[in-house]
Chain A
């Protein structure tokens, strides 16, 4: 990563130089990512879902989600008007799927944000400071890891009352330990590098070392973990919704499956009611997982060799 001759460096200034370096890093990252076909597939699927979620109000009719004035009659099979049939209130399954992508992505991103923020914070603190505090922090993490966190999440959601926020918080606060472990290990590895010692010797304080040196080096791993985590969070959200813990007024995919079960879609074999939301969940989760693995592969060449 040599950047031109010393003369141009001086002319460009350190900030421009840093930007150029970053741009090159991103370009190289993309070049390697592109070689992973599964990762590209995941990315395309993701883009489609995000687009759908963003355009939901535009591509569906105003009364799409209305229970009182539904566009069709209840529990109709697929037809010209409703290619995937209607639900128990007579709403189009397609519209439900489209609006469901909003719920899934919202919960996925926010829960992951909480989880990653906590995990990264605790991980870096535990890795940086060491000693007593770190030991306690890691014990807590270990304990969380061993505990059935999904059961805890369900209990938390049940106790706090039903809403999307509840689900987001419940997923977020029970899933950070994995990230914390990962980040701590990486922090320890980074802090063992000589330039950290140099930064300390030059008078860099804890905050300087953590924010300027450790954090940037931990970010790539966090990025991969984030991508994998969003998929898992979406999966957990659908599960919680299915268990009846979600906001009763939002049309999430899990809640749709739950509703289908309630009206006896299983015994009367209304496949159009059960199949599509499940497939949507599988696609989104798989897409995030494939992207996460592809990112991991780019960051860790040893892994890349394995995944091919």
Chain B
């Protein structure tokens, strides 16, 4: 860009329109690259899943029938059913088209299509994970900002200490302890499940909320600590910057400097990390749902692991990975809205 003491000459109309067109192309290219990247990731997940379940166990049929008495004929039948007698490339192609048509095979233990099972169990998980992410993010970011702004203070040290400790706590154990104290002990909350029987209509809402308290507290406790630490360190990075001193030199109140200048900048790296860490939350949900018998996908996953119900575990693996990839794609696509520097 030319830097002269005089205002630059107005850009001619033609050049302006050309720049617009190349801008559109650049934007399309940016979004296209992100979408393509996600598709590649998704393909890699399906590939991994395929190899994981067919190659590593050696004989998938034996793994599938693990511990159950099956005759030679039944084994042969299974082998044909799964197309194991075909060449590997053909097998993968069949598998891929199956996944793309949302056909994830039938679960051994439930004798139902995995897709149907997922459909039944999807909403409880979305409710639990969604609520916990929103609460953890709000709590973690808020505390992180306060800690960083008053770093070295008593509040900061206590908060970071608590966060680091919670970060070291196994979520399943925390859930059990909470049940011992508040459910089977004090009797304030139900020990398991999502709903009481015989409750219908609008009364389901407070009932579900009541059931959700402990699972939510467990999940939030292990997740918010990460958000706190991320926000704290990225805000500390920003606080040393000149623009913060500039903002204070302008005569702005401390609160305004923080809210208008420091936090918006510190949020950017934080958002990326929050989305990258979503996989961790999904795994936390598996444990929490198991502990609290929350009728969601996590509990389904756990019941599949125990058998092992390979089609079910495989289908859920693809679903969990796809969900995380999708959320990350969303983050990538929305990122330019909050950060003008990466705006294509």
A281 adjacent to B184 (CB under 8 Å): no
A158 to B307, CA, bound (A): 10
**CB within 8 Å of A: which B159-180 residues:** 164-165, 167-174, 176-177, 179-180
**Is A192 an interface residue, CB under 8 A from the partner?**
no
A238 to B287, CA, bound (A): 12
Assess A275 versus B177: contact at CB under 8 Å? Given A160-B56, A306-B236: yes
B236 adjacent to A257 (CB under 8 Å): no
**Is A44 an interface residue, CB under 8 A from the partner?**
no
A158 adjacent to B324 (CB under 8 Å): no
B169 adjacent to A155 (CB under 8 Å): no
B185 adjacent to A148 (CB under 8 Å): no
A160 to B58, CA, bound (A): 9
What residues of A have a CB within 8 angstroms of the CB of B317 in the complex? 151-152, 155
- Specify which of B44, B48, B180 is in contact with A271 (CB 8 Å cutoff): B180
**Is B83 an interface residue, CB under 8 A from the partner?**
no
Chain A residue nearest to B42 (CB atoms) is A143
A286 to B170, CA, bound (A): 11
A149 to B280, CA, bound (A): 8
- Specify which of B152, B301, B325 is in contact with A146 (CB 8 Å cutoff): B325
Assess A148 versus B282: contact at CB under 8 Å? Given A154-B305, A158-B313, A243-B305: yes
B308 adjacent to A158 (CB under 8 Å): yes
**Is A72 an interface residue, CB under 8 A from the partner?**
no
**Is B219 an interface residue, CB under 8 A from the partner?**
no
B168 adjacent to A151 (CB under 8 Å): no
- Specify which of A147, A159, A243, A274 is in contact with B180 (CB 8 Å cutoff): A274
- Specify which of A139, A145, A275 is in contact with B276 (CB 8 Å cutoff): A145
A238 adjacent to B56 (CB under 8 Å): no
B41 adjacent to A151 (CB under 8 Å): no
- Specify which of B177, B233, B310, B324 is in contact with A274 (CB 8 Å cutoff): B177
- Specify which of A147, A231, A243, A257 is in contact with B168 (CB 8 Å cutoff): A231
A151 adjacent to B320 (CB under 8 Å): yes
**Interface-side segment among A20-28, A183-191, A261-269:** A261-269
| Nearest 9 Cβ contacts at the A-B interface | A148-B279, A285-B168, A278-B173, A150-B283, A286-B168, A306-B236, A143-B41, A267-B184, A148-B282
Q: A interface vs B, CB < 8 Å?
A: 139, 143, 145-152, 154-156, 158-160, 231, 235, 238-239, 242-245, 254, 257, 260-261, 266-267, 269, 271, 274-275, 277-278, 281-282, 285-286, 289-290, 293, 306, 308
Can you name 27 A-B pairs with beta carbons within 8 Å? A139-B37, A139-B40, A145-B276, A146-B41, A147-B321, A148-B321, A149-B279, A151-B279, A151-B282, A151-B317, A151-B320, A152-B317, A154-B305, A155-B314, A155-B317, A156-B52, A158-B308, A158-B313, A159-B53, A235-B168, A239-B170, A266-B184, A266-B191, A274-B176, A274-B177, A293-B164, A306-B233
